[in-house]
Each structure stands twice: as C-alpha cells, then as structure tokens.
Amino acid sequence: MARLPASPRTGVLRRAAAPVLALCLLGVLPAPAAARVAPGPAPSLSVANGRTEPVFSRADAVSQLVDIETEADSDEDGRRDTVRMRILRPKETGDGLKVATIIEASPYWGGGNEVPFHPVDLAEDGLPPTRGTAAESRLPGLVDPSASAASPAQSERSAPFPGYNDNYFLPRGYAVAQLDSVGTGGSTGCPSSGGRAETLGAKAAVDWLNGRARGWDPDGRPSRASWSTGDAAMMGISYNGTLPTAVAATGVEGLKAIVPISGISSWYDYYRANGGVVAPGGYQGEDADILAKSVYSRADREICRPVLDRLTAEQDRRTGDWSRFWAERDYLKDARRIRAAVFAVHGGNDWNVKTQHVGRLWEALGKHEVPRRLWLHQAGHNNPMPLRMEEWLGQLHQWFDHWLYDLDNGAPEAARVEVEQADFSWRRQSDWPARGTHDLTLRLNPAGLGARPGPAVEHSLSDAGRTVRAEALVADPGAAHPNRLAYTTGPLTEELRVNGVPRVSLRSSLDGASPYVTALLVDYGRDTRAVAGTVPDASAPVCYGQGVPGDTGCAHRTRHRTETADFKIVSRGWLDVRNRRSAARESRVEEGREYRLRFGMQPQEYVFKKGHRLGVVLISTDHDYTLRHPAGTRLTVRTGVSGVTLPVAP
C-alpha cells in the first residue's frame, strides 16, 4: 500500500497497476476505517493498487460555505458578481491534509420558475399570431431528470448533498462542492444561458481553490482554501454538464478533468440548426431567454429584468441566423485552450441535448490532442451511473485518481471509446467513428434508395407538419402519401452499421410559407428497440458509498426503456433554405427555383439489422422541432441527383 504525502503534486508516489475497470459494490458497507497518519505533521491519502481508498468518514465531513468574487458584473450594479459554493471535505483537512475538489456547478440548486414558452404556430407573415395561439407554461428542457429541484434548506451547509460524489469520493480523499451559477440560489449576477459571465462565474470556483479569487464566509470574513491542492474536476449532466466544458474552454489553470454528461458544446446547436429555429426535443417554444428566466432564483428578482429582455431581443427567433450572440456561447471555437482531460458521455436517444454536441466536441478534442474518453449509451438524456453502476464508478474513480492525484493507474491507456450495442452489451474501440469507417452514398431514386443514380424525376409533397407529427408521416413507406417523400432500400442482406454524421444532398425547391427542409433517417422493420428514458429496476438498491442521515449512499439500478414498433426514426436533420449558403446570413429564395441543398443529420451509432429496410423520408415542417408555418408549402425534390451519404463501419 502506497501513501501519498500531504501535497500530492510534490513527490507523488507512483506504482504501476492494471486499469481499474470495475468496482465491487457491497449491499452493506463496513464502517470507514480511520485514516492513518503518515510520518510527519499532516495526515495523508491512502492508495492501494493504484487507486485512493475509502478511509475518511463522510459522516464527519467538514462543511464550508463561501461566496466567491468573479470577474464579471452581469447585473450591472457596479459590483462584481459573486457565486456561492457549498463544500464538503474530510475532517482531516483541518489537520493539514490537502485534497483535490470535484465541483458540480448548476443553475438549479436554487429551484426554478414556470415560464411561458414562445408560440411556434406562425402566421402568413412568419410572425406569431396576435391571438389564438397560447404559449405553453412549463419548466425548460435542459434539466437533469434524475435530480429533483433543490429545496431552500439545501443552501444550508448541513444539508445532505444530492448525487453520489460525496458518498463515494469524499471517503477516498476528495472535497466535493456545489456551486450556484450566477443569478441563481445564493449567487448574484444574472443568468444568461451560456453567456460569458456565466462561464466566468463557474471559473471563479477553480480560481478560488488556487488562491486567485477572493472569497468570504457567511459572516463576511475572508475565506481561503488552505486545504486545497489547487487541482479540481467539474462534472454533471445536462446544464450541469455544459458548464464544465464552458470553463475548460477558458484554459483555466488547475482544472485537471471534466466529465460532461449530455452537455452542450455550442448553444446554437441547442436552439438552432442551419439557420432555422429548432427546439430541443420535447420543448417546442423554449429558447435561451426562457431558460434564463426559469432559473433566475437569486434573492433580488428585479435587477436582472433588463438583462433578460436583451436575451429575448438578441437571440432572434425571426431568422435563426448565427450571430455574435451565439458565438459568445460557442465553446468549440476555444477547444484549443482546453487543458483538462475530458470524459464525455452521451445517449444515442437524447433529443434534448442532441448528439451533435458530443460529436463535434469529440472531434475538436482530437484535433487539439486533448486527453479524452467517450461513452455512448442507448438511453436518452440520462445519467449513466444507475445504468452501469460498477463500471461507471470504477472508470470515473480511475479518471479522477489519475488526473487529480497523478496516480499511475492506466487511465490514459484504457479503451478510449465504449459504445453500447442494441442488445445492451458494450464494445470497446480506439476512436469514434470507428476506424475503417467509410462513406456509402445512396441515391434517392424513383424506385427507392440505390447505390447507383436512377432517372431524374421530380417528386413533390404538400407540407402538413404543422398538424401532423413526423412519426405519423414516416409510417408505411410503401403507401402513397401527399405530405411526405419516402425512399427505402430493399431488405438488407447483412447488418449495416452507421456511426457518425449522415449527410443529405438534395436538388430541391420550395413554394410556400415554410422555409424548412427536414430529412429523417428511418429503420423499417418490426423490432424492440431502446428509446429515450430509463425505468427503475425493482430489485433492492445497491449501496455504493457511505451514507448519512437523509442520504443512504444507495441507489436503485435502472434499465433501458424499450418500445416494440415497425420503425424507428434514427436521425434527423433540418435546413432553413434561406441559409443554404451560410448559417450566418440569409439568401433570397425564389419560389419554385431548384437549389442544391446540403446539410447533416444528427450523428448516430446505430445498426440496421439484416432483413430491415433503411429509409430516408423528406418533409418540410417538423412538428416537434421547427417553427410551424401555415400548411401547404410545396417541396419538390429531383431524384437521381439527390441522395444521402452514410458513414458505415466494418
């Protein structure tokens, strides 16, 4: 057994060990052993087989609250914003033990507000009708569905922490922290749905742990992190998984690892697509201003009104064009600045934070040689922990031990990518898309999808997406249907694995009010498939860490939600034809004139089974995603010269 000195960055002991790929979970955990004291004045971590051991007591943890000064003044009151952080750390940090910190920053710890969504059924002039269409009032889509809203008591230092970091990682020698994002909970400033001040608010936590930012305790006395090694990780799901990428893209020193789970990498891709206003799945009418208003929970409920009004104006729901507003909220452009090792996780059935976010982030990290790991699972906007508990905690533990405590445990050499299969088994591979992936182009022909171009014939549809969902329009592809164009292959003679971004190329024209062209990649064949969401396992809960009153340290496993159906929409892609040349600028569209339209769908990892048919269905308005113009737009596509290109793996 190796023991780390008090400062893990000075003279860290390194011992070779096999990668930690699984963790033995016990139904009943023994009482934690008291941490031994290494020679010298300060206690130390305990390390065995290349990983930190649970020798510290969660029940005896020290709680701390600090208000940290940021670099921004987003509420424009003449004072810098402050963010509130609640910390739990081993009691031995009071005797000289220095530890790393795992931070979960969130706008949700302070609760949320019901906010009316924008209307999406537009009038002939492209504007919302003055009456007759009521906007929905609901909480926004970017929420971790596995976590409940915080109660006011959660702001107190004595309240139990939600999640599993405190139960599992604190006994192993980590501090864990919750941070209220700007404009929420105990913080000042204003929420901005990914804006610069929001990033600087979360970054301030890392700066304070390194002595670069000022902080105060609840009594207003200066507070310093004398117990901190300066090294930190950030993790979370959804919005809480977006903030780690935002902070990492600043290049802040001391942030060693991030774990973005179903996180946003560019806010344009969350609320827009190729020049069009496109909603997150299940939340038609939500936008950046709605989200900011819904999380605005700081004590002063009036000071941010002008800031929130500017969000509404600057996001621009009329055109959906790329602008400076969206450039400020694009973290991919700063990927070269990321120093933290990234363990990204995403669900193939996540239509809230769509798969494009992890696909583009993964590509950018590889381009700039950032250490990275990727999990792609079959669920939707879900936490992977209860789906694959042992493997998740084991690999996360390995990841943090290596990057925050410099343990030589094989983390960089472990499988870079793990992909969950249709049968819920997992495959390891060196990259994603898989090595050997090649392009397969299928033409939209009068007789269906084919590898060779057929006759150039015009096919037309009449848009009915304002009142009919895409799922109804893709059904029964062999039947004549005036509101869609469907092209399918014959029954596949072998499995076809698509991994990556399907791309559409059309010779097409529009005549009518709707500027949208929507492409749907469909798997036809009766089957039982994973869909978004999970269901709890009815068996007894598993105890993964040390419990305290109000928090048992146990959780139920979950399993995939499945559906038996004749088809599944595998991927979607949208284009506003006015933005066929650039997402940032519209071009004139002449009704009835044919244009070359090229755009990508959402990246996917999916196997079309032998005997199934692969289909491409074209519509205009996508009822659950795009703005909905009056019905009747005529979309015409020329066959033979139009097609779809699929990234196909061996």
What are the catalytic residues?
238, 350, 381
CB atoms within 10 A of CB 590: 10
* Cβ-based neighbours of 253, under 8 Å, separated by 6 or more: 206, 210, 339
* Cβ-based neighbours of 369, under 8 Å, separated by 6 or more: none
Containing H/E element for 34?
A: none
Question: Hey, which residues does 345 pair with through a beta bridge?
Answer: 261, 375
Task: Give the 3-state secondary structure percentages of the chain, helix then strand then coil, rounded to 5.
Answer: 20, 30, 50
Q: Rounding to the nearest 10 degrees, give the CA dihedral for residues 395, 397, 400, 404.
A: -140
**Could you give phi then psi for residue 349, rounded to 5 degrees?**
-105, 25
Angstrom distance (rounded) from CA 243 to CA 199: 7
Angstrom distance (rounded) from CA 331 to CA 194: 9
- Are 70 and 201 spatial neighbours (Cβ–Cβ below 8 Å)? yes
Residue 650, both tokens = 């061996």
- Are 139 and 22 spatial neighbours (Cβ–Cβ below 8 Å)? no
Q: What DSSP line would sit under 323-343, residue for residue?
A: -HHHHHTBSGGGGGG--SEEE
Q: Is 205 helix (H, G, I), strand (E, B) or coil?
A: helix
How would you class 242 by CB atoms within 10 Å of its CB: exposed for 0-12, middle for 13-18, buried for 19 or more? buried
Angstrom distance (rounded) from CA 327 to CA 196: 10
- Are 494 and 549 spatial neighbours (Cβ–Cβ below 8 Å)? no
Q: How many whole angstroms from its chain centre is CA 648?
A: 25
- Are 351 and 280 spatial neighbours (Cβ–Cβ below 8 Å)? yes
C-alpha Rg value of the chain to the nearest Å: 26
Q: Is 270 helix (H, G, I), strand (E, B) or coil?
A: helix
Q: Which of 231, 298, 225 is nearest to 66 (CA)?
A: 225
**Could you give phi then psi for residue 496, rounded to 5 degrees?**
-125, 115
Q: Is 647 helix (H, G, I), strand (E, B) or coil?
A: strand
- Are 560 and 424 spatial neighbours (Cβ–Cβ below 8 Å)? yes
Question: From the DSSP assignment, how many helices (H) and strands (E) are in the chain?
Answer: 10, 33
Q: Which of 192, 133, 201 is nearest to 314 (CA)?
A: 192
CA 606, 598, 639, 515 dihedral sign is: positive
Angstrom distance (rounded) from CA 239 to CA 298: 18
Q: What DSSP line would sit under 485-522, residue for residue?
A: EEEE----SS-EEEEE--EEEEEEEEESS--EEEEEEE
Angstrom distance (rounded) from CA 577 to CA 511: 11
Q: Which of 215, 241, 242 is nearest to 226 (CA)?
A: 215
Q: Which of 519, 510, 507 is nearest to 642 (CA)?
A: 507
CB atoms within 10 A of CB 39: 7
- Are 50 and 16 spatial neighbours (Cβ–Cβ below 8 Å)? yes
Peptide bond into 371 cis (omega under 30): no
- Are 470 and 626 spatial neighbours (Cβ–Cβ below 8 Å)? no
